[in-house]
A and B are shown apart, each in its own frame.
Chain A
Amino acid sequence: MSKLYIFAIGGTGSRVLKSLTMLLASGVKTRNAFDIVPIIIDPHAANEDLKRTKKILSGYQNIRKKLDANNLKENKGFFHHKITTLDELDGNLSDSFSFGLQDVTQCKFGEYLDYDTMGDSNKDLAELLFSGKSINSLGNEVSLLDVDMDIGFVGNPNIGSVVLNQFKDSEEFKVIASQFNEGDRFFIISSIFGGTGAAGFPTIIKNLRNAIKTNLPNKQIIADSSIGAISVMPYFNIMPSDDSPIKRADFIAKTKSALSYYKDNLTGQAAAINRLYYVMDDFSGTPFENDAGNNGQKNNAHFIELVSALSIIDFMGANNDELSTVNGKAQDPVCKEFSTRSDIGKITFSDLNHITEELISNPLASMMLFKKYLDENIDEVAGDIAWSKNNELLVDSNFLQSTFYRTHLKDFLNHFKEMIEEMSATERSFSPFNIGSDIATLISGKEGKAGWLKRNIKFDSIDAKLNSNSRDKTYSSVEDKLIALFSETMSEVLEENYKIN
């Protein structure tokens, strides 16, 4: 299976990666299957979003380890997508998902350059290139050379471009290169308006396309690889704050500058990217808290992140011949934008375009229903009901006490639910579910009906379906049975009872 290396850069990278993980977990279908290798790039190691994403990715892997690889090959159902860590590829790397940035802890940018020991002209040039002011973690104005590296680049992509360029010499990159095969792809998630993403994006692109000039293995393949990227433009409000270097007007200004730069250096004649996804939202809703970094930057999940994650699904769906690259130049590069059917503050499945709805409504609803079932019904029936006893694989109270169930699965689903809740709480909101209601009205705009009288569906209808679906099936383990059975059943229930295909 070809690999899709996803570079998730900065806070936005982590959040989009989280959304993607949820989409993958819920079993969103892709035309082509990829072994997904996420690499989080963020010097801001204390970033809450980053920590959460890493936890979710671990959870995903832990769940998937117990599942039968063969079942998963059907390219459908919960957790069927393979997510691989870098260290799984090589084993010598320190971190599972993060790219280990060097020399950023307790380090100012000037120290990173070792500015003080440069020759005079180089010093002068550096002083000019990195002129202007930023802000430190205490909210004090500092010059760029004094910016602390470990809170990210605080909106200074020029610094980021220098620091993140260490990527090219990193062990991680060497591992990727050594493992890189024909058909493997890259995808880069970044926001355009921050510091880290805006800087890391072109830096990584340049290093990949520039690989031919290195001594890396597979440098030709890398240089001519298929690269997709999403550039996330401003999509949320932040609280105005005089203390913060992050300002909404800045976001826009930076976006414009960066786009101009992309225009000249990535897209257009540069043709560095095979597929570039643009996304933004100008909805003025509840502002995010303005927090420059350090232990902050824990933001609610947002619909745009989900949309961004969908761009990766879209990219995975493209065929190789659509993404060919010759001599480092993408052939017929494509740019894409996303649309919904309606422009409203509270988006439900039916507000999405038909394709989008078809792609995600059934999986997300399946996962949601699965969560609802586990939360509200399984304790009552486990060990007694047919489906829990079939296949000589007992889903009983013991199993419900297992680490897999209690920690890995429940935690993961909690994150899922949390994400769904967060998305519905932000503005603009994505609110496909009525999370607190019973299952018949769980899905906004879609009532679940069961029986020939088409009464509101209840868990017993689902149990009946589970029972029937579990008959004559072979599962490799209880864990495998639980995931596979529910994946199949929930999807069918949604099709049959909710008319969600």
Chain B
Amino acid sequence: MNVEILAAGILTGGLYALIGLGISLTFGVLGMMNLAHGEFVIAGAYLASLLVTGAGWDPLAVLPLAMIAVALIAYPLQRFLLTPLLRASKTAPLVATFGLLLLAEALFQAVFGTHPKTLPAPYAAAGITIFGIRVQTVYVIAFALTVVLCGATHLLLTRTRAGSAVRAASADPETAAILGINVGRVYAMTLAFAAALAAAGGVMTGVAQSFTPTSGLPLLLTGFAVMALAGIGTVGGVLLAGVTLGVIQSVAVSVFGGGWSDVVVYLVFFLALAIRPQGLFRRAAA
């Protein structure tokens, strides 16, 4: 087995983990499967493209702005559309996020056109050699970014008051509300944060690959695959699951050929759901 294939798999796995982290958060805290998560990713890429191709900024400089912008879009969506639906019925949020997916795809198409776009950057086509292995610079940067964001998420959740409020609301919303936690605001902040993570993933995806208005759905499934592998519980588990998925995919492609790269993701996802729905890396205690 070629080391470079493994290395490429690990690095792309970092990007997968970033996408999966947002989905994990949303499902873990809100109990909602957000079908529009892939659209948050692409929204990050498109919003970044406004400054990157429009004003020539570097994508990494635009990244925080894209994260904030997408978070600002997600907050009212959760607060005023999705939270009321969460209380109403079990299937309504799923269908509503599905409607958001359709709407987002159509809006991207209307505003940005259907041509594939990329975010140009000096490191987009650069490679570096680490420990004698040749890898793409952009994926190294994405992996580093993922680690930083995962660390930040973990710290936020475990070391801050806001994080405790989130964990309380996710464990028992009713009791949390009685204790004075504004559950509606917590839910909205969580989705906004998840959306920001998605946007970060989107910017890096935009630099490393190209994106179109319909690129969101495959990314959504990748994120779900990571979540299914990881289970709900730890941020570190999501990172490990992402890397695992990346490696499995990379190995499968080199053994069976390029056509299997997507199939592998879906098969892994489905098998994980069916055989071990609680995930591989779930911590035993909540």
A and B found bound together: no
Measuring CB to CB, which residues of chain B are less than 8 angstroms from any residue of chain A?
none
Using a CB–CB distance below 8 Å, which chain A residues touch chain B? none
